[in-house]
Amino acid sequence: MSETPAPTSVPAEPPPGGIFQQSNRTAKRPYPLRIYAARILWNLIGMRLFRWSLPRAFRWRRWLLRRFGATMAPHSIVYPTVRIFHPWWFEMGDWSNLGHEVVIYNLGPVTIGSHAVLSQGVYVCAGTHDYTLPDLPLLRPPIRIGSGVWIAAQAFIGPGVTIGDNSVIGARAVVVKDIPPGMVAAGNPARVIKARVMNQPFT
């Protein structure tokens, strides 16, 4: 019977010139300490009170988000299963709606206009890394979602994207470039497929 070879050990350091990105060089704390303190308070207290609230306690969740620095319009709607990473970098307009399981991964600012709808499972990602540098520094390009926008279920909105007013984003679309106003976009990567038909006059 042949002996089983010993497992190959993983080298402690990558071979010289073999790997470009160096994870051991990434910044351990890219934010000021006060941001980490605020995040701890939000995760331990704010998010617990947020997620344990009644499904239609919209006023309570607006109040709670404001206490942690969010700008919330009087009639904005956020469900308890929504996850907002940094409330102090979040702004939401009047009569806009964040559906169940929406994630606002706002390492940078995220702004949503009025009368916008983000359907269930939408992921808004305002954070990335500069892959052209070996230490992968954190980037926090802002995201702006205009007024009258509908983003359908499980779409992904990437860093630095602006979605123009009255546009529609199809389900599970991956939006990595700006979408002009009044358009319908879908696909991976998302592209404009047609203008949005708006039959009724604006009020």
15-56: pLDDT as tens digits:
556 888 888 888 888 888 999 999 999 999 999 999 999 999
Q: Of all residues in the chain, what percent carry a pLDDT higher than 70?
A: 90
pLDDT tens digit sequence for 44-101 = 999 999 999 999 999 999 999 999 999 999 999 999 999 999 999 999 999 999 999 9
Residue 30 pLDDT: 84
pLDDT band for position 146 (50/70/90)?
A: very high
Distance CA 182, CA 166 (A): 5
Distance CA 189, CA 194 (A): 15
Instruction: Report which secondary-structure segment, H or E, holds 41.
Output: helix 33-41
Distance CA 46, CA 68 (A): 8
CB 129 within 8 A of CB 108: no
The residues, any chain, with a CB within 8 Å of residue 66's CB and separated by 6 or more, are 72
Q: Is there a catalytic annotation at residue 129?
A: yes
Distance CA 183, CA 168 (A): 6
Of the residues 86, 100, 115, 129, which is catalytic?
129
Architecture in CATH of 30-195: 3 Solenoid (2.160)
- Asked if residue 171 has pLDDT above 60, the reply is yes
CB 182 within 8 A of CB 165: yes
